[in-house]
Structure 1
């Protein structure tokens, strides 16, 4: 009986550790870019669903949500590290394409400045609720803000 209990504890520990790994969802790349009909405004937060691209009101900047990797600790699990949500963005400004990764963890890069405009990730939704339920990449929405420097 003691051996069975130890085996069950080891299995449960493995599930918890797996759910907190950085490869929980992996870096999933977008293959079907959708262009959003909504523009964003400099200085205002905006939502960017996975696999879509959005332009600012004067069409000089386009941002695409290209990839997501989510190792944030699910709400129903106790982890030793809070984890990180990482988004890969393609930013086209004045005809030049840049690719960058922004993070939810406060000790990781969550903003970048390109051509005098700061792009910041303020949220990544939805937050993982359970280690048992993976989030489809199509469900992710990055909340961003672009501000003139």
Structure 2
């Protein structure tokens, strides 16, 4: 009896991570910022790990530091939980810097700094079932910076 219950529980657990025929919809391409690019307010921009972008006319710099954890459910797999990735950024203006961690599926997905809001829009690549780990150099994060009321 105990073996039958254990077998049913194992089968149910495996079913929670079964292959899914539907792939996620690909996000539109966003211009990629170079080592230190100029970007515009209210416009999405993409950074690689180790790269920075300065908001034109604002003097605010967004630096994408690292992805310390990525537990997102792999593409093509049906999971019980979507998972989450953490993105580390450093925001700086006028010689003052502020570090923050933003999440893909948990809060916070954005951070307020001075009179700005910096939001994480997406993180690629998405893990795959057979792809192994993702190196830091492969990550691309898309952000949007908006101005908030003083």
- TM-score normalised per structure 2: 0.71
Equivalent position of 2:52 in the other structure: 53
Give CA deviations for 1:17-49 in whole Å, capped at 9, x if unaligned: xxxxxxxxxxxxxxxxxx724211111110011
Aligned length: 120
- Counterparts of 2:87 and 2:37, CA distance in 1: 20
- Counterparts of 2:143 and 2:90, CA distance in 1: 13
Residues 110 and 119 of structure 2 are in contact (CA less than 8 Å); yes or no, is this contact kept in structure 1?
yes
Equivalent position of 2:132 in the other structure: 133
- TM-score normalised per structure 1: 0.72
Deviation at 1:60, TM superposition (A): 1.1
Which secondary structure does the structure 1 equivalent of 2:38 belong to? coil
Equivalent position of 2:64 in the other structure: 65
- Counterparts of 1:86 and 1:126, CA distance in 2: 14
Deviation at 1:75, TM superposition (A): 1.4
- Counterparts of 2:42 and 2:94, CA distance in 1: 19
- Counterparts of 2:91 and 2:65, CA distance in 1: 10
Deviation at 1:131, TM superposition (A): 4.7
Equivalent position of 1:79 in the other structure: 79
Equivalent position of 2:107 in the other structure: 108
Give CA deviations for 1:63-100 in whole Å, capped at 9, x if unaligned: 11111021100013332211001100011022210000
Give CA deviations for 1:89-147 in whole Å, capped at 9, x if unaligned: 01102221000011110x42101111110000010011112254211110101100000
Residues 77 and 131 of structure 1 are in contact (CA less than 8 Å); yes or no, is this contact kept in structure 2?
no
Q: Which runs of 5+ in 1 are unaligned?
A: 1-5, 17-34
Q: Which runs of 5+ in 2 are unaligned?
A: 1-6, 18-33
Residues 110 and 117 of structure 2 are in contact (CA less than 8 Å); yes or no, is this contact kept in structure 1?
yes
Tell me which structure has the larger Cα radius of gyration: 2
